[in-house]
């Protein structure tokens, strides 16, 4: 989410706090794709990610009156999504199988079949890698690598100390390097 959208998102949150359903709908529309991406990468399951995103926005609507603008509203929504995802992972008794037909589609560009195959293999490899990380590392890695949040904001989202967040991310990156080497990924 671009930083230029933050003031608008925060303004929509203030309007939603006063009961403006349209403002909340617009807020939801703007944050839906990033929330879906986060929940998908956390769970590896498209259906679960969709359910978790819906639960995230339902919770956000129910609790919007309690939202305090101590940080960007997107961080507050991502914190709800992260907690939902972590709870889902903890409650699930067996690891969800990652299936290629459940993978989200990427932006379509003209590519050769070889390039498309390499990108698909890399995307699936990243999903498999993400599934190997402990949930807290997975969340820290996702928020930093994919969402490109600053560590301070990740700390707020996760409710963890800044040093802990940096350590979780650093450990995830080290594991990614090892995974890339053992998987034969090219640099």
Same domain, 41 and 126: no
* The model scores a pTM over 0.75: no
pLDDT per position as a tens digit, 31-89: 999 999 999 988 888 999 999 999 999 999 998 888 877 778 888 998 999 989 988 98
DSSP state for residue 144 in the 8-state scheme: I
Q: Nearest CA to 32 among 70, 81, 89, 101? A: 81
Same domain, 28 and 63: yes
Q: What is the pLDDT of residue 116?
A: 67
Q: What is the pLDDT of residue 19?
A: 87
Tokens of 98: 């990652």
Q: What is the CATH number of the domain that holds 70?
A: 1.10.1740.10
Same domain, 148 and 87: no
pLDDT over threshold 70, residue 1:
no
Q: What is the pLDDT of residue 99?
A: 40
Q: Nearest CA to 74 among 161, 19, 166, 150? A: 150
Residue 102 inside a domain? The answer is no
Same domain, 4 and 84: yes
158 in helix, strand or coil?
helix
Same domain, 84 and 173: no
Structural domain range at position 24: 1-95
pLDDT per position as a tens digit, 113-145: 766 676 777 777 788 888 888 999 999 999 998
Same domain, 67 and 122: no
Q: What is the pLDDT of residue 170?
A: 94
Instruction: Identify the band that residue 7 occupies on the pLDDT scale cut at 50, 70 and 90.
Output: confident
**13 and 69 Cβ atoms separated by less than 8 Å:** yes
Average pLDDT value for the chain: 82
Q: What is the pLDDT of residue 3?
A: 41
Instruction: Identify the band that residue 110 occupies on the pLDDT scale cut at 50, 70 and 90.
Output: low
Q: What is the pLDDT of residue 114?
A: 66
Q: What is the pLDDT of residue 187?
A: 55
Q: What is the pLDDT of residue 106?
A: 44
Q: What is the pLDDT of residue 38?
A: 92
Same domain, 36 and 118: no
Residue 119 inside a domain? The answer is yes
Tokens of 114: 């070889």
pLDDT over threshold 80, residue 13:
yes
Q: What is the pLDDT of residue 181?
A: 83
Q: Which residue has the higher pLDDT, 184 or 27?
A: 27
């Amino acid at each position: 989410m671009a930083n230029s959208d933050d003031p608008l998102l925060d303004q929509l949150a203030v309007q939603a706090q006063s009961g403006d359903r349209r403002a909340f709908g617009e807020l939801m529309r703007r944050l839906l794709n990033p929330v879906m991406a986060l929940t998908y990468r956390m769970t590896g399951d498209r259906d679960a990610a969709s359910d978790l995103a819906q639960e995230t926005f339902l919770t956000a609507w129910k609790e919007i009156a309690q939202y305090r603008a101590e940080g960007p509203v997107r961080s507050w929504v991502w914190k709800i999504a992260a907690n939902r995802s972590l709870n889902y992972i903890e409650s699930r008794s067996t690891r969800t199988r990652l299936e290629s037909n459940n993978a989200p589609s990427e932006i379509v560009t003209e590519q050769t079949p070889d390039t498309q195959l390499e990108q698909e293999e890399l995307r699936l490899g990243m999903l498999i890698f993400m599934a190997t990380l402990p949930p807290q590392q997975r969340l820290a890695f996702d928020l930093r690598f994919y969402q490109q949040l600053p560590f301070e904001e990740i700390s707020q989202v996760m409710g963890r100390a800044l040093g802990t967040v940096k350590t979780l991310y650093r450990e995830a990156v080290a594991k990614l390097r090892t995974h890339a080497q053992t998987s034969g990924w090219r640099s």
